[in-house]
Amino acid sequence: MTEQLRGRDFIATQDWGNDEIEIALETARELKEKFRHGESHRLLPDKTLFMFFFDKSTRTRNSFEAAMTQLGGHAHFISSETSQISHGESPKDTGIILSSYGHGIAIRHDLVPGEGNTFMREVAKWSDKPVLNMQCDIDHPFQTLADLMTMREIFGNDLRGRKIAISWAYAPSYAKPMSVPQGLITLMTRFGLDVTLAHPPEYKLMDLPLHQARENAEKYGARFEIVDDMDVAFENADVVYPKSWGIESLFHNPEEALEISKKYQDWICNERRMSLAKKDAVYMHCLPADRGHEVVDAVIDGPQSVVYPEAENRLHTCKAMMALTM
Ligand code: CP
């Protein structure tokens, strides 16, 4: 295994070069094979990962914990509410002290625009061990890496000319973070996909990832366009990725945000919309999905859905990144 990535933080895919992302994907592929065949791959024996959660999780928490166990190490689950962070302990003190106890710090801090990424970068400034982003306000790099791995497994490594439709969809459950669509537009424009982003006017993404996506598309010869019509986005797509996200200025005001979202209840991924995409198009979602709102059961449970292999790839990509960096 290459040593060139040892000690590196993984806070945004944009911080890593394409060649480094390729190393991560190849390592994930190899570790997936070993996992499938029951071959031991204890690459981090006796190492400790500290996992800070400021938000709930099923896939991220359990893929990280399982990955550390299978790599021969151990992951500690820490809720921000039951740690001294809830009393205001600084990211500096947290970073210095936890990095002196173990070998990596992973953080999920995704619910408040302007906070999570800043917090992680401050921890990383003071930690002498890698800091891993389990989802912030700007990016969800472990998710989008697993998504890229999944698309390559389906369509092959060369994704140039393939179209991905990343669309807002209605969800009444809660104001979901903006980091998945933002992470997708920045990463997929670097790996050849033509990206069409669709959302109602209130659901504009943050300026930084929009700027990065435009620059990446220019640099890597991909297309990046924004439309306000889910049907237009789905037309001729190879991959559809419809999911909900919140309004940047309204994360502190969920009632107002929910009222606005009700205007767009017809932004749902259904069979009619799937028929606008290519015949062999796949449906993706990072999960959890609001069934019956973001997507109908016939699509998420249907033959074009790849949500379960996509979720499984969270384990393999997470394991690869920890084995390479920690
Ligand atoms: N996709 C994802 O991050 O899932 P969890 O919120 O369950 O971790």
Give the gyration radius of the chain's Cα atoms.
19
Distance (Å) from CA 319 to ligand 1 centroid: 16
What does pLDDT average to over the chain? Answer: 97
Q: Which two tokens stand for residue 29?
A: 């592929």
Residue nearest to atom 3 of ligand 1 (CA): 60
For residue 116, CA distances in Å to 42, 63, 77, 95, 111 come to 31, 21, 18, 14, 8
Distance (Å) from CA 277 to ligand 1 centroid: 26
- Encode pLDDT of 38-84 as tens digits: 999 999 999 999 999 999 999 999 999 999 999 999 999 999 999 99
Distance (Å) from CA 120 to ligand 1 centroid: 18
Residues 219, 260 contacting (CB under 8 angstroms): no
Please give the average pLDDT of every successive group of 10 residues along the chain, which has 326 residues.
Answer: 94 98 98 98 98 97 98 97 95 97 98 97 98 98 98 98 98 95 98 97 98 98 98 98 97 94 98 98 98 98 98 98 98
Q: What angle do CA 201, 206, 209 make, to 5 degrees?
A: 120
Determine the distance from the C-alpha atom of residue 127 to the mean position of all C-alpha atoms in its chain, rounded to a whole number.
23
Q: Reduce the DSSP state of residue 98 to 3 states and report it.
A: helix
- Encode pLDDT of 91-127 as tens digits: 999 999 999 999 999 999 999 999 999 999 999 999 9
Q: Which two tokens stand for residue 274?
A: 């799937």
pLDDT of residue 304: 98
Largest alpha-carbon pair distance within the chain? 55
Residue nearest to atom 1 of ligand 1 (CA): 286
What atom of ligand 1 comes closest to residue 58's alpha carbon? 7
What atom of ligand 1 comes closest to residue 56's alpha carbon? 6
pTM of this prediction?
0.98
Residues 293, 269 contacting (CB under 8 angstroms): no
Ligand 1 test: best mutation among 286, 290, 306, 307, most atoms within 8 Å of CB? 286
Q: Where are the alpha helices (DSSP H) in the chain?
A: 18-36, 59-70, 91-101, 116-126, 141-155, 179-188, 207-220, 230-234, 254-261, 271-274, 297-300, 307-325
CA–CA gap between residue 203 and residue 227 (Å, rounded): 12
ω into 288 cis (within 30 of 0): yes
pLDDT of residue 1: 78
**Ordered structural domains, the chain, with CATH:** 2-140+314-325 (3.40.50.1370), 143-310 (3.40.50.1370)
DSSP 1-39: --STTTT--BS-GGGS-HHHHHHHHHHHHHHHHHHHTT-
